[in-house]
Protein backbone atom coordinates (compact mmCIF):
# COMPACT_ATOMS: atom_id res chain seq x y z
CA UNK A 1 0.00 0.00 0.00
CA UNK A 2 1.47 3.34 -1.14
CA UNK A 3 2.18 5.98 1.47
CA UNK A 4 -0.42 8.76 1.55
CA UNK A 5 1.07 12.23 1.00
CA UNK A 6 -0.59 15.17 2.74
CA UNK A 7 -0.98 18.25 0.56
CA UNK A 8 1.23 21.23 1.32
CA UNK A 9 -0.13 24.42 2.84
CA UNK A 10 0.74 27.95 1.74
CA UNK A 11 2.49 28.48 5.09
CA UNK A 12 4.68 25.39 4.63
CA UNK A 13 5.79 26.58 1.22
CA UNK A 14 6.35 30.15 2.36
CA UNK A 15 8.34 29.27 5.47
CA UNK A 16 10.49 26.47 4.01
CA UNK A 17 14.13 27.29 4.97
CA UNK A 18 17.31 26.33 3.09
CA UNK A 19 19.49 23.47 4.42
CA UNK A 20 23.00 22.22 3.72
CA UNK A 21 21.66 20.00 0.92
CA UNK A 22 18.80 20.20 -1.58
CA UNK A 23 15.61 18.80 -0.16
CA UNK A 24 11.99 18.48 -1.37
CA UNK A 25 8.49 19.00 -0.03
CA UNK A 26 5.91 16.78 -1.72
CA UNK A 27 2.36 17.90 -2.50
CA UNK A 28 1.23 14.52 -3.93
CA UNK A 29 0.47 13.40 -7.47
CA UNK A 30 4.13 13.82 -8.40
CA UNK A 31 4.25 17.55 -7.58
CA UNK A 32 6.98 18.76 -5.19
CA UNK A 33 8.84 21.88 -4.15
CA UNK A 34 12.63 21.71 -4.43
CA UNK A 35 14.51 23.92 -1.97
CA UNK A 36 18.21 24.63 -2.62
CA UNK A 37 20.91 25.58 -0.09
CA UNK A 38 20.90 29.06 -1.67
CA UNK A 39 17.23 29.44 -0.73
CA UNK A 40 15.63 29.15 -4.20
CA UNK A 41 12.38 27.21 -4.42
CA UNK A 42 11.42 25.44 -7.67
CA UNK A 43 8.22 23.58 -8.48
CA UNK A 44 8.76 20.27 -10.26
CA UNK A 45 6.65 17.26 -11.15
CA UNK A 46 7.81 13.64 -11.42
CA UNK A 47 5.87 11.39 -13.76
CA UNK A 48 6.23 8.01 -15.44
CA UNK A 49 6.43 7.85 -19.23
CA UNK A 50 4.61 5.21 -21.27
CA UNK A 51 7.82 3.18 -21.59
CA UNK A 52 8.06 3.03 -17.77
CA UNK A 53 10.94 5.47 -17.40
CA UNK A 54 10.71 8.35 -14.94
CA UNK A 55 10.85 11.94 -16.19
CA UNK A 56 10.40 15.40 -14.66
CA UNK A 57 8.72 18.66 -15.54
CA UNK A 58 9.79 22.05 -14.20
CA UNK A 59 6.94 24.48 -13.56
CA UNK A 60 8.97 27.43 -12.34
CA UNK A 61 10.10 29.29 -9.19
CA UNK A 62 8.12 30.14 -6.09
CA UNK A 63 6.67 32.72 -5.34
CA UNK A 64 6.28 33.64 -9.06
CA UNK A 65 4.48 30.30 -9.44
CA UNK A 66 2.14 29.98 -6.48
CA UNK A 67 1.05 26.70 -4.90
CA UNK A 68 -2.34 26.99 -6.63
CA UNK A 69 -0.70 27.70 -10.00
CA UNK A 70 1.63 24.72 -9.59
CA UNK A 71 -1.35 22.46 -8.88
CA UNK A 72 -3.10 23.74 -12.03
CA UNK A 73 -0.03 22.85 -14.06
CA UNK A 74 0.03 19.37 -12.46
CA UNK A 75 -3.63 18.91 -13.42
CA UNK A 76 -2.91 19.95 -17.02
CA UNK A 77 -0.03 17.45 -17.20
CA UNK A 78 -2.13 14.60 -15.80
CA UNK A 79 -4.90 15.31 -18.34
CA UNK A 80 -2.36 15.02 -21.15
CA UNK A 81 -1.13 11.71 -19.73
CA UNK A 82 -4.70 10.36 -19.67
CA UNK A 83 -4.88 11.18 -23.38
CA UNK A 84 -1.65 9.27 -23.99
CA UNK A 85 0.42 12.42 -24.51
CA UNK A 86 3.82 12.81 -22.87
CA UNK A 87 3.65 16.22 -21.09
CA UNK A 88 7.39 16.82 -21.50
CA UNK A 89 7.24 16.20 -25.25
CA UNK A 90 4.09 18.33 -25.44
CA UNK A 91 5.92 21.22 -23.77
CA UNK A 92 8.90 20.94 -26.11
CA UNK A 93 6.57 20.97 -29.12
CA UNK A 94 4.90 24.12 -27.80
CA UNK A 95 8.31 25.76 -27.36
CA UNK A 96 9.34 24.76 -30.87
CA UNK A 97 6.15 26.22 -32.35
CA UNK A 98 6.56 29.42 -30.34
CA UNK A 99 10.13 29.82 -31.57
CA UNK A 100 9.04 29.11 -35.14
CA UNK A 101 6.30 31.72 -34.89
CA UNK A 102 8.70 34.27 -33.44
CA UNK A 103 11.17 33.61 -36.27
CA UNK A 104 8.49 34.20 -38.91
CA UNK A 105 8.88 37.94 -39.07
CA UNK A 106 6.84 40.08 -41.42
CA UNK A 107 9.87 40.53 -43.68
CA UNK A 108 10.58 36.79 -43.85
CA UNK A 109 6.96 35.97 -44.72
CA UNK A 110 6.77 38.89 -47.18
CA UNK A 111 9.87 37.71 -49.06
CA UNK A 112 8.47 34.19 -49.22
CA UNK A 113 5.16 35.56 -50.55
CA UNK A 114 7.08 37.66 -53.08
CA UNK A 115 9.11 34.65 -54.28
CA UNK A 116 5.91 32.71 -54.88
CA UNK A 117 4.44 35.59 -56.88
CA UNK A 118 7.46 36.34 -59.07
CA UNK A 119 6.63 33.70 -61.75
CA UNK A 120 3.24 35.37 -62.33
CA UNK A 121 4.59 38.95 -62.54
CA UNK A 122 6.62 40.94 -65.02
CA UNK A 123 10.20 41.63 -63.99
CA UNK A 124 9.36 45.29 -63.40
CA UNK A 125 6.40 44.50 -61.14
CA UNK A 126 8.47 42.04 -59.10
CA UNK A 127 11.35 44.51 -58.68
CA UNK A 128 9.14 47.48 -57.82
CA UNK A 129 7.00 45.54 -55.34
CA UNK A 130 10.02 44.32 -53.36
CA UNK A 131 11.72 47.70 -53.53
CA UNK A 132 8.68 49.48 -52.08
CA UNK A 133 8.48 46.95 -49.25
CA UNK A 134 12.17 47.47 -48.50
CA UNK A 135 11.76 51.25 -48.47
CA UNK A 136 8.45 51.72 -46.67
CA UNK A 137 7.39 48.61 -44.75
CA UNK A 138 10.37 46.51 -43.63
CA UNK A 139 12.09 49.37 -41.71
CA UNK A 140 8.90 49.83 -39.64
CA UNK A 141 7.47 46.33 -39.00
CA UNK A 142 9.77 43.97 -40.90
CA UNK A 143 11.45 42.52 -37.79
CA UNK A 144 8.19 41.94 -35.91
CA UNK A 145 6.72 38.41 -35.82
CA UNK A 146 3.86 38.62 -38.29
CA UNK A 147 1.29 37.25 -35.84
CA UNK A 148 2.14 39.96 -33.27
CA UNK A 149 1.70 42.99 -35.53
CA UNK A 150 -1.18 45.15 -34.34
CA UNK A 151 -3.64 47.41 -36.15
CA UNK A 152 -1.95 50.43 -34.59
CA UNK A 153 1.50 49.43 -35.90
CA UNK A 154 0.29 48.89 -39.44
CA UNK A 155 -1.77 52.09 -39.44
CA UNK A 156 1.23 54.10 -38.23
CA UNK A 157 3.37 52.57 -40.99
CA UNK A 158 0.86 53.41 -43.73
CA UNK A 159 0.17 56.92 -42.43
CA UNK A 160 3.90 57.64 -42.44
CA UNK A 161 3.86 57.01 -46.20
CA UNK A 162 0.70 59.09 -46.57
CA UNK A 163 2.27 61.88 -44.51
CA UNK A 164 4.89 62.58 -47.15
CA UNK A 165 2.14 63.05 -49.74
CA UNK A 166 2.47 59.60 -51.34
CA UNK A 167 -1.24 58.80 -51.06
CA UNK A 168 -1.38 56.37 -53.96
CA UNK A 169 1.67 54.45 -52.68
CA UNK A 170 0.10 54.22 -49.21
CA UNK A 171 -3.02 52.62 -50.69
CA UNK A 172 -0.94 50.23 -52.79
CA UNK A 173 1.15 49.22 -49.79
CA UNK A 174 -1.99 48.56 -47.79
CA UNK A 175 -3.18 46.18 -50.53
CA UNK A 176 0.23 44.45 -50.65
CA UNK A 177 0.29 44.04 -46.86
CA UNK A 178 -3.20 42.56 -47.03
CA UNK A 179 -1.97 39.96 -49.52
CA UNK A 180 1.00 39.13 -47.27
CA UNK A 181 -1.21 38.70 -44.19
CA UNK A 182 -3.56 36.51 -46.26
CA UNK A 183 -0.58 34.36 -47.23
CA UNK A 184 0.40 34.14 -43.55
CA UNK A 185 -3.07 32.80 -42.74
CA UNK A 186 -2.83 30.20 -45.50
CA UNK A 187 0.47 28.82 -44.17
CA UNK A 188 -0.83 28.68 -40.61
CA UNK A 189 1.06 31.57 -38.98
CA UNK A 190 -1.91 33.72 -38.00
CA UNK A 191 -5.67 33.68 -37.98
CA UNK A 192 -6.66 37.22 -38.91
CA UNK A 193 -5.83 39.63 -41.71
CA UNK A 194 -5.68 42.97 -39.92
CA UNK A 195 -5.26 44.92 -43.18
CA UNK A 196 -8.71 43.84 -44.40
CA UNK A 197 -10.35 45.73 -41.53
CA UNK A 198 -8.64 49.01 -42.47
CA UNK A 199 -11.13 50.48 -44.91
CA UNK A 200 -11.15 54.07 -43.69
CA UNK A 201 -7.77 54.66 -42.06
CA UNK A 202 -6.23 56.25 -45.18
CA UNK A 203 -7.51 59.33 -46.96
CA UNK A 204 -9.86 58.53 -49.80
CA UNK A 205 -8.32 58.96 -53.23
CA UNK A 206 -10.26 60.07 -56.25
CA UNK A 207 -9.75 57.98 -59.35
CA UNK A 208 -7.62 59.85 -61.87
CA UNK A 209 -6.08 59.43 -65.31
CA UNK A 210 -2.56 60.27 -66.34
CA UNK A 211 -2.09 64.02 -66.63
CA UNK A 212 -2.58 65.17 -70.23
CA UNK A 213 -3.12 68.47 -72.00
CA UNK A 214 -6.12 68.89 -74.32
CA UNK A 215 -6.23 69.63 -78.05
CA UNK A 216 -6.36 73.39 -77.65
CA UNK A 217 -3.16 73.38 -75.61
CA UNK A 218 -1.17 71.47 -78.23
CA UNK A 219 0.18 74.52 -80.17
CA UNK A 220 1.48 76.07 -76.93
CA UNK A 221 3.06 72.75 -75.94
CA UNK A 222 4.86 72.45 -79.29
CA UNK A 223 6.11 76.01 -78.90
CA UNK A 224 7.39 75.25 -75.38
CA UNK A 225 9.16 72.16 -76.73
CA UNK A 226 10.91 74.19 -79.44
CA UNK A 227 12.02 76.82 -76.92
CA UNK A 228 13.41 74.22 -74.50
CA UNK A 229 15.12 71.85 -76.90
CA UNK A 230 18.48 73.59 -76.46
CA UNK A 231 18.43 72.51 -72.79
CA UNK A 232 17.83 68.84 -73.65
CA UNK A 233 20.07 66.08 -74.91
CA UNK A 234 19.31 65.21 -78.53
CA UNK A 235 17.94 61.71 -77.75
CA UNK A 236 15.55 63.22 -75.19
CA UNK A 237 14.33 65.80 -77.73
CA UNK A 238 13.68 63.05 -80.25
CA UNK A 239 12.00 60.86 -77.63
CA UNK A 240 9.47 63.59 -76.84
CA UNK A 241 8.75 64.23 -80.50
CA UNK A 242 8.37 60.52 -81.24
CA UNK A 243 5.95 60.15 -78.35
CA UNK A 244 3.74 62.68 -80.09
CA UNK A 245 4.19 61.11 -83.51
CA UNK A 246 3.76 57.41 -82.72
CA UNK A 247 2.26 57.44 -79.16
CA UNK A 248 3.45 54.04 -78.01
CA UNK A 249 3.67 53.51 -74.25
CA UNK A 250 6.64 55.18 -72.58
CA UNK A 251 8.32 51.88 -71.65
CA UNK A 252 7.77 50.51 -75.16
CA UNK A 253 9.57 53.54 -76.58
CA UNK A 254 12.53 54.01 -74.24
CA UNK A 255 13.31 50.27 -73.99
CA UNK A 256 13.41 49.75 -77.75
CA UNK A 257 16.50 48.01 -79.18
CA UNK A 258 17.67 49.02 -82.65
CA UNK A 259 17.12 45.41 -83.75
CA UNK A 260 13.35 46.04 -83.88
CA UNK A 261 13.64 48.87 -86.42
CA UNK A 262 14.39 48.49 -90.14
CA UNK A 263 15.27 51.99 -91.33
CA UNK A 264 15.58 50.92 -94.98
CA UNK A 265 12.07 49.48 -95.11
CA UNK A 266 10.69 52.06 -92.71
CA UNK A 267 9.33 49.36 -90.39
CA UNK A 268 9.22 49.06 -86.64
CA UNK A 269 7.72 45.88 -85.18
CA UNK A 270 7.59 45.46 -81.39
CA UNK A 271 7.59 41.76 -80.38
CA UNK A 272 4.53 40.77 -78.40
CA UNK A 273 6.70 39.86 -75.39
CA UNK A 274 7.48 43.58 -74.90
CA UNK A 275 3.86 44.72 -75.13
CA UNK A 276 1.69 45.30 -72.09
CA UNK A 277 -0.79 42.56 -72.96
CA UNK A 278 1.97 40.23 -74.01
CA UNK A 279 3.29 40.28 -70.43
CA UNK A 280 0.05 38.91 -68.99
CA UNK A 281 0.53 35.57 -67.27
CA UNK A 282 -2.96 34.41 -68.23
CA UNK A 283 -3.91 34.44 -71.94
CA UNK A 284 -1.21 36.85 -73.12
CA UNK A 285 -1.74 38.55 -76.48
CA UNK A 286 0.89 37.04 -78.79
CA UNK A 287 0.35 39.59 -81.58
CA UNK A 288 3.41 41.65 -82.56
CA UNK A 289 2.68 45.36 -82.72
CA UNK A 290 3.36 47.27 -85.95
CA UNK A 291 4.38 50.85 -85.19
CA UNK A 292 3.34 52.69 -88.33
CA UNK A 293 5.99 55.29 -89.10
CA UNK A 294 5.31 58.59 -90.84
CA UNK A 295 8.01 60.28 -92.91
CA UNK A 296 8.67 62.65 -90.02
CA UNK A 297 9.07 59.81 -87.49
CA UNK A 298 11.40 57.93 -89.82
CA UNK A 299 13.54 61.06 -90.30
CA UNK A 300 13.89 61.42 -86.52
CA UNK A 301 14.93 57.78 -86.15
CA UNK A 302 17.55 58.15 -88.89
CA UNK A 303 18.89 61.26 -87.17
CA UNK A 304 19.02 59.37 -83.89
CA UNK A 305 20.75 56.36 -85.48
CA UNK A 306 23.74 58.57 -86.22
CA UNK A 307 24.03 59.21 -82.46
CA UNK A 308 23.06 55.94 -80.77
CA UNK A 309 23.07 53.41 -83.62
CA UNK A 310 26.29 51.83 -82.41
CA UNK A 311 24.68 50.56 -79.23
CA UNK A 312 21.88 48.22 -78.26
CA UNK A 313 19.18 50.71 -77.38
CA UNK A 314 17.58 53.42 -79.45
CA UNK A 315 17.50 55.53 -76.27
CA UNK A 316 20.44 54.43 -74.11
CA UNK A 317 20.93 55.58 -70.55
CA UNK A 318 23.51 58.38 -70.44
CA UNK A 319 25.33 56.94 -67.43
CA UNK A 320 25.12 53.27 -68.43
CA UNK A 321 24.61 52.72 -72.19
CA UNK A 322 23.89 49.06 -71.46
CA UNK A 323 20.57 50.16 -69.97
CA UNK A 324 17.68 52.09 -71.56
CA UNK A 325 16.77 55.69 -70.87
CA UNK A 326 14.99 56.33 -67.57
CA UNK A 327 11.34 57.32 -67.63
CA UNK A 328 12.38 60.07 -65.24
CA UNK A 329 14.28 61.77 -68.06
CA UNK A 330 10.97 62.29 -69.92
CA UNK A 331 9.20 63.60 -66.82
CA UNK A 332 12.07 65.98 -65.95
CA UNK A 333 12.05 67.39 -69.47
CA UNK A 334 8.30 68.01 -69.26
CA UNK A 335 8.85 69.65 -65.87
CA UNK A 336 11.50 72.01 -67.29
CA UNK A 337 9.04 72.95 -70.03
CA UNK A 338 6.58 74.03 -67.33
CA UNK A 339 4.27 71.02 -67.65
CA UNK A 340 4.84 69.34 -64.30
CA UNK A 341 1.56 67.79 -63.20
CA UNK A 342 -0.05 68.76 -66.50
CA UNK A 343 1.53 66.27 -68.89
CA UNK A 344 3.12 62.82 -68.66
CA UNK A 345 4.61 60.40 -71.15
CA UNK A 346 1.41 58.36 -71.03
CA UNK A 347 -0.59 61.54 -71.44
CA UNK A 348 0.36 61.72 -75.13
CA UNK A 349 -1.80 58.65 -75.73
CA UNK A 350 -4.86 60.31 -74.19
CA UNK A 351 -4.20 63.51 -76.13
CA UNK A 352 -3.85 61.72 -79.45
CA UNK A 353 -6.99 59.61 -78.97
CA UNK A 354 -9.17 62.70 -78.74
CA UNK A 355 -7.21 64.91 -81.15
CA UNK A 356 -7.20 62.46 -84.08
CA UNK A 357 -10.92 61.75 -83.72
CA UNK A 358 -11.90 65.41 -83.37
CA UNK A 359 -9.46 67.11 -85.75
CA UNK A 360 -8.80 64.41 -88.36
CA UNK A 361 -12.03 62.41 -88.20
CA UNK A 362 -10.55 58.92 -87.95
CA UNK A 363 -12.58 56.08 -86.46
CA UNK A 364 -12.11 55.05 -82.86
CA UNK A 365 -11.25 51.45 -83.86
CA UNK A 366 -8.31 52.52 -86.01
CA UNK A 367 -6.83 54.75 -83.31
CA UNK A 368 -7.46 52.09 -80.68
CA UNK A 369 -5.49 49.51 -82.62
CA UNK A 370 -2.60 51.93 -83.13
CA UNK A 371 -2.59 52.41 -79.35
CA UNK A 372 -2.32 48.58 -79.04
CA UNK A 373 -5.50 48.32 -77.03
CA UNK A 374 -6.93 44.81 -76.92
CA UNK A 375 -9.65 43.94 -79.48
CA UNK A 376 -12.88 42.87 -77.82
CA UNK A 377 -13.13 39.53 -79.59
CA UNK A 378 -11.30 37.21 -81.99
CA UNK A 379 -13.29 38.44 -84.98
CA UNK A 380 -12.22 42.02 -84.29
CA UNK A 381 -8.63 40.84 -83.96
CA UNK A 382 -8.74 39.16 -87.38
CA UNK A 383 -10.30 42.25 -88.94
CA UNK A 384 -7.54 44.39 -87.39
CA UNK A 385 -4.86 42.47 -89.19
CA UNK A 386 -6.77 42.35 -92.46
CA UNK A 387 -7.58 46.02 -92.86
CA UNK A 388 -6.58 48.38 -90.08
CA UNK A 389 -2.86 48.37 -90.87
CA UNK A 390 -3.32 50.26 -94.14
CA UNK A 391 -5.68 52.75 -92.49
CA UNK A 392 -3.29 53.23 -89.62
CA UNK A 393 -0.42 54.09 -91.98
CA UNK A 394 -2.55 56.77 -93.62
CA UNK A 395 -3.70 58.06 -90.24
CA UNK A 396 -0.17 58.30 -88.84
CA UNK A 397 1.04 60.32 -91.82
CA UNK A 398 -1.99 62.61 -91.57
CA UNK A 399 -1.30 63.11 -87.86
CA UNK A 400 2.38 63.98 -88.46
CA UNK A 401 1.37 66.47 -91.17
CA UNK A 402 -1.19 67.99 -88.80
CA UNK A 403 1.49 68.51 -86.12
CA UNK A 404 3.70 70.18 -88.73
CA UNK A 405 0.84 72.53 -89.64
CA UNK A 406 0.66 73.68 -86.04
Query: If DSSP codes are grouped into helix, strand and coil, which group holds residue 195?
Result: coil
Confirm whether 167 is a catalytic residue. no
Neighbouring residues of 308: CB distance < 8 A, sequence distance ≥ 6: 235, 258, 314, 315, 316
| From 359, 373, 393, 402, active-site residue | 373
Q: How would you class 301 by CB atoms within 10 Å of its CB: exposed for 0-12, middle for 13-18, buried for 19 or more?
A: buried
Confirm whether 249 is a catalytic residue. yes
Neighbouring residues of 227: CB distance < 8 A, sequence distance ≥ 6: none
Task: Report d(CA 234, CA 303) in Å as an integer.
Answer: 10
| From 78, 160, 167, 276, active-site residue | 276
Alpha helices in 119-150, H assignment, sequence order: 123-132, 138-141
Q: Are 322 and 312 in contact (CB under 8 A)?
A: yes
Q: Are 4 and 19 in contact (CB under 8 A)?
A: no
> In angstroms, what CA-CA distances link 45 with 49, 55, 60, 313?
12, 8, 11, 75
Packing angle of the helix pair 389-405, 234-246 (nearest 10 deg): 120
Task: Report d(CA 244, CA 404) in Å as an integer.
Answer: 11
| From 346, 362, 369, 392, active-site residue | 346
Confirm whether 349 is a catalytic residue. yes
Residue count of the chain: 406
Q: Please name which of 12, 30, 14 lies closest in space to residue 71, comparing C-alpha atoms.
A: 30
| From 90, 383, 393, 402, active-site residue | 383
Q: Concatenated DSSP letters for 338-377?
A: T-TTT--TTHHHHHHHHHIIIII---HHHHHHHTTPPPSS
| From 74, 174, 241, 249, active-site residue | 249
| From 73, 290, 349, 369, active-site residue | 349
Task: Report d(CA 149, CA 86) in Å as an integer.
Answer: 33
Confirm whether 56 is a catalytic residue. no
Lay out the sheet containing 261-262: strands in order across: 261-262, 267-270, 289-290
Would you report the helix, strand and coil content of the chain in percent, each value rounded to 5? Answer: 55, 10, 35
Catalytic residues: 249, 276, 346, 349, 373, 383
Amino acid sequence: MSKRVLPLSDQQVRTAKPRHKIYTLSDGGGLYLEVSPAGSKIWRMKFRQQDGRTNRLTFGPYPEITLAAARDKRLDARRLMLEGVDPAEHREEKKRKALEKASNTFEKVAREWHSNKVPTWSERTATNTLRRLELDIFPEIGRRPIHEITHAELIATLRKIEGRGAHEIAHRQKAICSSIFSYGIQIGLLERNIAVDMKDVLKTMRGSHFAAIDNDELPAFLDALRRNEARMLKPTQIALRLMMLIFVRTSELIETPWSEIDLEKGEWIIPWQRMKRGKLTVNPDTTDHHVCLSRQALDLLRELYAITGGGTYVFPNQRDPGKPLSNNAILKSLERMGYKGRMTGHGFRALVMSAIKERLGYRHEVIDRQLAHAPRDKLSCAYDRAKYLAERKMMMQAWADYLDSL
